Amino acid sequence: LIPEVAGLPMAGWGVDVMGAAFRGELRVDGRGAEQRFALAQAPERVEDGMVALLRAYLRGYGPATERDFAYWVGLPLRDILGAFAALRPELDEVGGGYMLSGSEIDVPSIPRALLLAKFDPLTMGHADKTRWLDPTDQARVFRKAAQVEAVVLLEGRAAATWRVARKANRAAVTVEPFRNLRPPERNAIERSAQRLGASIGWGEGEVTFVRSD
C-alpha cells in the first residue's frame, strides 16, 4: 500500500489503486462498472508499454512462460509474442519454456510451510496451476463465484486451505488439509501461523486442523 492509505482499516488493492490515481500516478477511465487504468506517464508506443509490463511481470512472477503472461495480462498469445522477442536478450530460460528477467537470481530462505493469502499472486499469476497445485485439489482452492481460497504451501505444493479469525487476544487459524499431514508438517504449519498472528498484531496464532468434506 502507498503510505497515504496504508493506515486505513481494511485497505486493499482497490484503495491502493485509488490512492495512486490521487497522487497522479494513474489515470482512471471508463463508465459504470467497466473501469480501466493507465499510467499517467504511459509510453508513447503500445509495444514499449508491453515490453515494460513483461519485464515487471517476470521480475515479480518469474519463472513464467509466454502462455502464463498472456493469461495474466488477459490478451491472446499472438498479442504478447512481440514483447518476448524484444526482451529476449534480457531473458534467461530455465527449461520447459520458463523464463526469468535478469541473470542474477536471488532466492531467499523460505520456511517449510507458508500461509498464502486469498488471491495471492502465486495463485493468480500463472496459467499452469499444476506447478504448485494438484489438479484433484483445484476445486478446493478455486471456488464458485470466483472465490479463491487462502492456501497452505508445504515444500512449494498446496497442502491445505486456511482461514483466520480474531479470538480474544490470539489469531485463531483453521486449516483444512487436502490429505493426512505428518506431525512435522503440522508443526511447520503451526510455526507459520504463529508468525502470522504476530505480524498482524493479534498475538501468536493457534491452529485447529479440520477434516475436509
- Based on the structure, what is the number of domains in the chain? 3
pLDDT confidence of 106, banded at 50, 70, 90?
A: low
Beta strands in 9-107 (DSSP E): 26-31, 34-39, 91-95, 98-101
Domain boundary pick from 56, 81, 105: 105
Contact criterion met (CB below 8 Å) for 153 and 177? no
The pLDDT tens digits of the residues spanning 54-104 come to 998 998 888 899 999 999 999 999 999 999 999 999 888 888 888 888 755
The pLDDT tens digits of the residues spanning 177-210 come to 999 999 999 999 998 888 888 777 777 778 899 9
CATH code of the domain containing 91 = 1.10.10
Contact criterion met (CB below 8 Å) for 102 and 92? yes
Domain boundary pick from 59, 84, 105: 105
- Cα separation of 8 and 22, whole Å? 15
C-alpha cell at 91: 531473458
Burial degree of 188 (CB within 10 A; 0-12, 13-18, 19+): buried
Do 204 and 132 share a domain, yes or no?
yes
Percent of the chain, pLDDT > 70? 76
Do 124 and 86 share a domain, yes or no?
no
Residues whose CB is less than 8 angstroms from the CB of residue 61 and which lie 6 or more positions away in sequence, other chains included: 68, 72, 121, 125, 126
C-alpha cell at 97: 519454456
C-alpha cell at 59: 521480475
Do 26 and 52 share a domain, yes or no?
no
Residue 72 structural domain: 43-105
Mean residue pLDDT across the chain = 82
CB burial of 43-78 (b: ≥16 within 10 Å; e: otherwise) equals eeeeeeebbebbbebbeebbbbbbebbbbbeeeeee
